[in-house]
């Protein structure tokens, strides 16, 4: 039994680490490009949106806004989305533990 719990804990930690690493990478690219003179690329926008694919019903157009220097990232909307996804993932982990 303890071996199964240890494996389960490693699995959950791995999922959290993978999610966090992927999200940080996507956010880093998005912030770098957003602060550039040319703005975000379509590829970076798609990569960032894919990190939040489990957030059904979210209007991703609110994450971005147009400027004379290209498309920029709305940092307030991004923080709100990251926080909401964290809460969703935390609730999912809690549900897994309670089952």
What pLDDT digit, counting tens, does each position of 5-61 carry? 445 445 455 556 677 788 888 889 999 999 999 999 999 999 999 888 887 788 888
For residue 41, give its domain range: 2-98
The rounded distance, in Å, linking the Cα atoms of 87 and 80 is 11
Neighbours of 51 (CB within 10 A): 19
The rounded distance, in Å, linking the Cα atoms of 85 and 23 is 11
Neighbours of 87 (CB within 10 A): 10
The rounded distance, in Å, linking the Cα atoms of 23 and 30 is 10
- Total number of domains constituting the chain: 1
The rounded distance, in Å, linking the Cα atoms of 36 and 3 is 49
Predicted confidence (pLDDT) at residue 83 exceeds the cutoff of 50: yes
Q: Which residues pair with 67 in a beta bridge?
A: 70
| Per-residue confidence (pLDDT) for residue 86, from 0 to 100 | 81
């Amino acid at each position: 039994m303890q071996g199964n719990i240890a494996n389960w804990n490693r699995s959950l930690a791995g999922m959290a680490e993978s999610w966090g690493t992927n999200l940080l990478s996507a956010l880093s690219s998005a912030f770098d490009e957003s602060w550039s003179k040319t703005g975000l690329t379509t590829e970076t926008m798609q990569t960032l949106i894919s990190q939040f694919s489990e957030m059904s019903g979210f209007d991703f157009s609110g994450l971005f806004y147009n400027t004379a220097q290209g498309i920029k990232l709305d940092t307030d909307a991004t923080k709100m989305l990251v926080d909401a996804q964290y809460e969703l993932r935390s609730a999912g982990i809690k549900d897994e533990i309670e089952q």
